[in-house]
A and B are shown apart, each in its own frame.
Chain A
Amino acid sequence: MGPLIPQGVIDGGWSFVIALLVGVCFGLILEASGFSSSRKIVGLFYGYDFTVLRVFFTATITAMVGLLYFNYLGWIDLSMIYFPPTYVLAAIIGGLIMGLGFIMGGFCPGTGICAVAIGKLDALAYVFGLYLGIFFFSETFSWFEGLYTKYALGQVRITETLGISTGLFAFGFVAIALVAFVVTAWIQRRVKPVVY
């Protein structure tokens, strides 16, 4: 049955309407969770507010386990779900550069856009920086090209990479998330609160 649009159950012409609706929900959830505040977001990295970890981990396990159940029940064809191909070096180096940008700027792109929507001028500066960074990447692509395509593994799943079953991996990932929730709650009680 699913995914509905790739399978032709819903006409592809609806995809932009759906995009807008999905975006509205995405924005509502991110803002209502407090992601329009950079000082709340970076609390994760200094131990005074673990909201990002809680929301992010809960969302990942909910969607992951949901997809696996949908697949088990035959509601969705997992092979038709798009995810980015794996380029080991680009994913790691790109991720580390994003980590540095995260701690300097206090936002990731989605949360930055949310914060712009409620009038944060620092977020506007951040999105302007994103824009410049992407332009810079495009102009200097030849510098990054080797890194960008090195160690290509293709459309590979973590269960294939690790050589374990999907159920076992998902169970382990959920267990790690639960431990992280308990440990970070313990840490947060011991870290000096930051008022923002």
Chain B
Amino acid sequence: MENTDRSKQYINPYLGGVLLGLLLLATFFVMGRGLGASGAIKSSVAATVNRIDPEHAQEREYIGQFITDDQHPLNNWLVYEVLGVIIGAFISGSLAGRLNWKVEHSPKISARTRILFAVGGGFLFGIGSQLARGCTSGAALSGSAALGTAGFLTMLSIFGGAYLFAYFFRKLWI
């Protein structure tokens, strides 16, 4: 019963969608760009590599382009935006009583299996997001709303891909 009660505290998905759409519209109106997420992680990877081995970072053709002399890699719009996401999600979670340390997984799999697949899934999503120049937020949502062709291609491929592979991973979830 506890689970049912908690899920009732989520807002109506269509209301959530309208709010998210208005936020995206406001972001376009003020900043001339949309929302994002994976870009901030890319910046922190660039910052870490640059911190540990600056020469190596400069040599890397891909990550090197995000490291400049005049600006720290973390001094980036998306990094501040994602810091905000953490704060916002924490506020929402604490108001709804959802803050607790846990590994959420289906009773049919162990916490360890869930963690392993989470790392693996993140690893692949990380690669894919760099190849497609953005993730669900930056490429698919913001890109499609701005009518960019890449946004629609990426959106269809992400969701289409997940449906395509869902059968093979059903034991993880249902």
Contact = CB atoms under 8 A, between A and B. Distances in A.
A94 B13 contact: no
Interface residues of B, number: 125
Nearest to A7: B32
Contacts of A25: 19, 23, 84, 88
B3 to A, nearest CB: 6
Contacts, number: 533
Interface string B68-89: 0000000001101111111111
B121 A106 contact: yes
A51 B13 contact: yes
Given A99-B159, A99-B161, A84 B150 contact: yes
A105 B149 CA distance: 27
A26 interface: yes
Interface in B84-114: 84-94, 96, 98-106, 111, 114
Residue of A83, A141, A142 with most chain B CB atoms under a 10 A cut-off = A83
The B interface is mostly helix, strand or loop, or mixed, namely: helix
Interface in A143-180: 144-145, 147-148, 153, 155-161, 166, 169
A59 interface: yes
A139 B103 contact: no
Contact of A46 (B17, B119, B174): B174
Pairs of residues from A and B, 4 with the lowest C-beta to C-beta distance, nearest first: A23-B84, A99-B161, A105-B121, A133-B126
Given A33-B20, A117-B93, 12 more contacts: A3-B28, A27-B86, A46-B173, A59-B16, A59-B24, A64-B146, A98-B129, A98-B158, A110-B35, A127-B122, A156-B150, A196-B3
